[in-house]
Structure 1
Amino acid sequence: MALSPLAPEAGRVIDAEVITEPSRTYDLFTTGLRSTVDGDDALRQFIRKALLTARTTYLIYDNQYGNEIDTLIGQNVNNALFDAEIVRMIREALIYDDRITSVGNFVITRSADACFITFDVGSVGGGTIKEEVTV
């Protein structure tokens, strides 16, 4: 029998080469849709936009896009819980993108009513992008 799984034929398994598609997108923040960005610049734009967009607020995005940081702001929580939750929320907002391999090295600094968070994002290409968020 040719189609039996018990007797596999030699040469039926083909190794496929993974082709990385360009991540080209419109430049939203500097030129206002008049040019495109690719590579690390497109990834930086995704990070910025995902951290500016509230999750499950806009119907145009699926339930994985955006963040839930707005639910944490104004809550009466201690600093340790705030730090743990903000790290989790930023990581969850970014890690589902297939261009991102890791999100880590969080440094949280407080000044008056503001909270400054710096972190590293590892990309599929092997590079590391350093980002900063102010909450």
Structure 2
Amino acid sequence: MTLSPVNLEQLDENATETAVIGTSKTYRIDFERGELGGIINGNEAILQFIKKAIMTARSRFLIYNDDYGCEIEDIIGQNVSSELLEEEVPRLIKEAIEYDDRIESASNFMIERNGERLQVTFTVTLTNGNTLQGVSVSV
């Protein structure tokens, strides 16, 4: 006797699994004031995830698993060459966001250094085929 309501004997042995990506519905975060307000979904929620994942230091907050966050903070403000920034910043951002099931890839990075801040603009390709162009994050 199984505890599952599914009769395993009736399942088709040739059936294939289809990945189902859950909803993007989440609370809207006002990063300037540190407040929550309203509900967002779709591309707006994905853009918020991208910004929050990049702004959150990886492995520093127990509430998040080791996959969440970014290590970009470790090189910001350091005396590193432009060549190193051009190599490391895209890699760090990709690691921070591409583990998410909704995101296929990130590409076309443009990095501007403003003192100790970086303005990074890039393109994100989603698993549903859509593309988010001009995604911009200041770190």
Mind listing any 5+ residue stretches in structure 1 that lack a counterpart?
Answer: 1-10
The secondary structure found in structure 2 opposite 1:133 is strand
Mind listing any 5+ residue stretches in structure 2 that lack a counterpart?
Answer: 1-11
In 2, the alpha carbon distance for the partners of 1:18 and 1:77 equals 41
Q: 1:64 to 1:37 in 2, by over 3 A?
A: same
Q: Which has the higher contact order (CA 8 A, sep 6+)?
A: 2
Per the TM alignment, residue 100 of structure 1 is displaced from its structure 2 partner at its CA by 0.1
Per the TM alignment, residue 62 of structure 1 is displaced from its structure 2 partner at its CA by 0.6
How many residue pairs match? The answer is: 125
TM-score by length of 1: 0.80
The percent of aligned pairs where both chains have the same amino acid is: 40
Per the TM alignment, residue 13 of structure 1 is displaced from its structure 2 partner at its CA by 1.2
* Corresponding residue for residue 55 of structure 1: 58
Q: Is the CA contact (8 Å cut-off) linking 2:21 and 2:101 kept in structure 1? A: no
| Bigger radius of gyration among the two | 1
In 2, the alpha carbon distance for the partners of 1:79 and 1:16 equals 45
TM-score by length of 2: 0.78
RMSD (Å) for aligned C-alpha atoms: 2.1
Alpha-carbon deviations, 1:60-101, whole Å to 9, x = none? 001111101111023222110122111111111111111000
Q: Is the CA contact (8 Å cut-off) linking 2:104 and 2:127 kept in structure 1? A: yes
